[in-house]
Amino acid sequence: MKKTSTRLADGRELIYYDSRDDTVRDAVDRRPLDRTVTTSEVRRDPLLGDAVAIASHRQGRIYHPPADECPLCPSEGDRLSEIPDSAYDVAVFENRFPSLAGDSGRCEVVCFTSNHDASFADLTEEQAGLVLEAWTDRTAELSHLPSVEQVFCFENRGAEIGVTLGHPHGQIYAYPFTTPRTALMLRSVAAHKEATGGENLFDAVLERELADERIVLATEHWVAFVPFSAHWPYEVHLYPRRRVPDLLGLDEGARTEFPKVYLELLRRFDRIFGEGEPPTPYISAWHQAPFGTLEEFDGVVRADFALHLELFTIRRTSGKLKFLAGSESGMNVFINDVPPEAAAQRLREVASS
C-alpha cells in the first residue's frame, strides 16, 4: 500500500491509498473554495449523561446530486470534485460538513472506489483489503489527536438509511468522548469480570454463539453470527477469533482473510429478500476500544474490549422497513419481528454456491 497525503483548496486533508507503490498523486484542487467554517458543538445531556453534537452548518450539505455532479467521483475536465485526481483506488478526506470538528473531534469520508455505480460488495478482495488498510491507518492517525478518545469507522448504505450521496463510501467519526453504546458494553464487561473472577464477557459471548444455531459463517480467523438478542430484523456480528481491542491489533492471518469473509456477508445481505429486490439498505459499524485509560469502568483495560463489526438492515421483509417507533425511540426497548434463529437460517441459505 502507498499512502499520499495532500490538501484540498480549503485546507482540508486528502489522503490517497493506492495498491501500487509507483502511483503518483500530484493533482491540485482547482476549485475556488473558501476555508471551511463549522459550528460543531458537543453538549452533554444532564439526565441521560450522553452527548449530542449540534452542527447547524450541515443543513447546507449536498443532498442527492445527479450522478454527473457527484462530489465523490474523480475530477474530470471542468467537472471538479472533492477528489482532484482523474482516478483513485481508495481516498479519504476531511468532511466538508462535519458533525464533529476541532476540539469536538473530526469527521472523515472514505471513498471505497472511484466507480460511482459500484457498491462495497462489488469490490475485489484486493480492493476490500485496501479499504481495511485505510481504516486501520486512519484509526492509528486519529488516535494521536489530543481531542480524540474513540474512532468509529462505518458505512451507511441506501436511501432508506438516510444516505444523501449515492457513491460507494463510508465515514469515520473521531469522538472526543467514549460513546454511550461503548460505555454500556464496558460496564457490562466490568460487571461480568468482577462476578466471574476475571472472565471476559466478549469471550463468553463468542463461545456461547459458537455452540448455538445462529452461526452464519465461520472461518479460521473470523466468526459471523446473528446475536441471541438481535435488535434488528437481520443483524450479523463479525468477530475475529483472537480478541483484539481495535483494527491495529489484527494479525496478518485475520487481515488476509477479512476481505473474503466480509464480501461474502455483504453479498448475502443483497440476496436475503430474493431476486428482483432493490439492494438491501444497511449500516456496517466497527466497534473499537476507546483510547486512553478506562478508569471509570472498574477493573477494565483496553485489552478487555473485543473489536467487532456489526452489520444490520432496517428492512424486515420485502418492501417493508423496521421503524424505530414509540418503544424503540421513546424508551430504547427494541421489538424484533424476525427471530434471530430464522434470520441466521436465511443468511445461511443465501450463501454463494
Alpha carbon distance 148, 23 (integer Å): 31
Alpha carbon distance 14, 144 (integer Å): 18
Alpha carbon distance 190, 185 (integer Å): 9
**Is 169 a residue of the active site?**
yes
Q: Which entry of 169, 192, 221, 237 is annotated as an active-site residue?
A: 169
Alpha carbon distance 135, 152 (integer Å): 9
Query: Alpha carbon 322 to chain centroid distance?
Result: 20
Neighbours of 277 (CB within 10 A): 13
Strands (E), 117-202: 150-157, 169-175
Alpha carbon distance 341, 229 (integer Å): 10
Name every residue whose Cβ is closer than 8 Å to that of residue 337 and which is 6 or more positions away in sequence. 233, 316, 322
Q: Which neighbouring-strand residues pair with 285?
A: 154, 310
Residue positions annotated with a catalytic role:
169
